[in-house]
Structure 1
Amino acid sequence: MAQKTHDYERESEDFYDHIASRFDHSFDGFLASFFKRFIIKRLKVEKNSSILDVGCANGNLLAMLNRKEKIFGSGLDISSEMIKIAQVKHPNFTFKQGTAQKIPFEDANFDLIICSASFHHFPLPELFLAEAKRLLAPEGKLVIAEIHIPFITKAYNWRLNKFSTEGDVKVYQPKELTRIFNHNGWKITDKKFFLQIQYYELEKNY
């Protein structure tokens, strides 16, 4: 069966613009909250770290991290409506609208980059991984928390391609993600599987 043609970034932008004002009370926001809480529990954050949240939505993850430890937070999201809300809710952080494949921040600017339940929206994940390398300080860390749906991944991805209008590209199996990370110059320093979450901490593999 032929693949359906998608403009994934446009679909993501349109969908999240549409639900931005009610994101915390939407199904997507409900699911995203599980990822955020897992990251808060799992991730060690140094005081005064410079952190970029890619796919930040309304900025709540940065606020949760800041309650755990004082940080300098920045966020990127493809939805301009999400960014408007994030800027109002969290004026102490910096937010920009844009694509994860060409991120509008300066080189070597972050100690930590987080991508929570967003990697599966990226049409060209290798471009995001290259951008993360550019943006991280030499000893910086990349954290990716993604959907984990064992056993039915292939069927789920068929359904996404056929019916999704939310910009979902595909759900990855752990072996796929490991291969992508390794191929693009990253080494896994920590990983954890919990229910429908697969979590990775990565460092640049020089």
Structure 2
Amino acid sequence: MAHKHHDYESESEQFYDHIANNFDHTFDGFLARFFKKFIKKNLEFPEQSRILDVGCANGTLLGMLNEKHTILGNGLDISSEMVKVATKLHPEFTFKRGTAEEIPFESTSFDLLICSASFHHFPNPKRFLSEAKRLLTADGRLVIAEIHIPVVTKIYNWRLNRFSTEGDVKVYTPKELAKLFENNGWKINRKKIFFQIQYYELEKIH
């Protein structure tokens, strides 16, 4: 069956612009909270870590991490409305509007780069993984928490392609992600699968 054409970045921008002011009370915001709580619980990092959250929405994850240890937080989102909301809610952090393929921060600026339930929105994940390499310090880590839908992944992705208007590209299996990481110069240092969450801490292969 032919695939439906999508402009994923435009779809994401429009959808999240629309729900930005009410994000925490939407279904997307409700689900995202589980990923954020999982990251806060499992991710260890020192005080004053320089962290970039890609697909930061309203900045909640950075706020949660800052409760654990004081961080130098930065957020990126494709939705300009989300960036406005995040800046208002968390003026202690820096937020920018941009895409995961061209991230508007200086090279080697971060100790941690985090994607919380956002990687499946990226139309060109290889380009993002290259950008992440540029942005992280030599010993920096890339943290990806993604949706895990075992058994019915193919059916779910078919449904996304046909019906989603939220900029969802595809849900990956753990095997697909492992191959994608390895082929693009990343080593998995830590991996956890917990119900519908698959969690990875990655380092650059030098």
Normalized against structure 1, the TM-score is what?
1.00
Looking at structure 2, the residues matched to 25 and 176 of structure 1 have their Cα atoms a distance apart, in angstroms, of 32
DSSP 3-state at the match of 2:165 = coil
- Code of the residue aligned with 1:140 in structure 2: it is G
Q: CA deviation at 1:45?
A: 1.5
Partner of 1:116: 116
Q: Which runs of 5+ in 1 are unaligned?
A: none
DSSP 3-state at the match of 2:24 = helix
Q: CA deviation at 1:75?
A: 0.1
Partner of 1:23: 23
Alignment of 1:185-200 (within 5 A): 185-200=185-200
Check if 1:56 corresponds to 2:56: yes
Q: What percent of counterpart residues are identical? A: 70
Q: CA deviation at 1:136?
A: 0.1
DSSP 3-state at the match of 1:201 = strand
Looking at structure 1, the residues matched to 61 and 45 of structure 2 have their Cα atoms a distance apart, in angstroms, of 13
Looking at structure 2, the residues matched to 70 and 123 of structure 1 have their Cα atoms a distance apart, in angstroms, of 33
DSSP 3-state at the match of 1:100 = coil
Partner of 1:8: 8
Partner of 1:164: 164
Looking at structure 1, the residues matched to 171 and 119 of structure 2 have their Cα atoms a distance apart, in angstroms, of 9
Where do 4+ consecutive residues of structure 1 move more than 2 Å? none
Partner of 1:184: 184
Q: CA deviation at 1:157?
A: 0.2
Looking at structure 1, the residues matched to 178 and 66 of structure 2 have their Cα atoms a distance apart, in angstroms, of 30
Looking at structure 2, the residues matched to 185 and 179 of structure 1 have their Cα atoms a distance apart, in angstroms, of 10
Q: CA deviation at 1:59?
A: 0.3
- Code of the residue aligned with 2:88 in structure 1: it is V
Looking at structure 1, the residues matched to 30 and 68 of structure 2 have their Cα atoms a distance apart, in angstroms, of 21
Check if 1:90 corresponds to 2:90: yes
DSSP 3-state at the match of 1:187 = strand
Partner of 2:203: 203
DSSP 3-state at the match of 1:179 = helix
Deviations 1:155-190 (A, max 9, x none): 000000000000000000000000000000000000
Partner of 2:101: 101
Normalized against structure 2, the TM-score is what?
1.00
Looking at structure 2, the residues matched to 21 and 48 of structure 1 have their Cα atoms a distance apart, in angstroms, of 29
What's the Cα RMSD here?
A: 0.3
Looking at structure 1, the residues matched to 177 and 97 of structure 2 have their Cα atoms a distance apart, in angstroms, of 26
Task: Report the count of equivalent residues.
Answer: 206
Looking at structure 1, the residues matched to 100 and 141 of structure 2 have their Cα atoms a distance apart, in angstroms, of 17
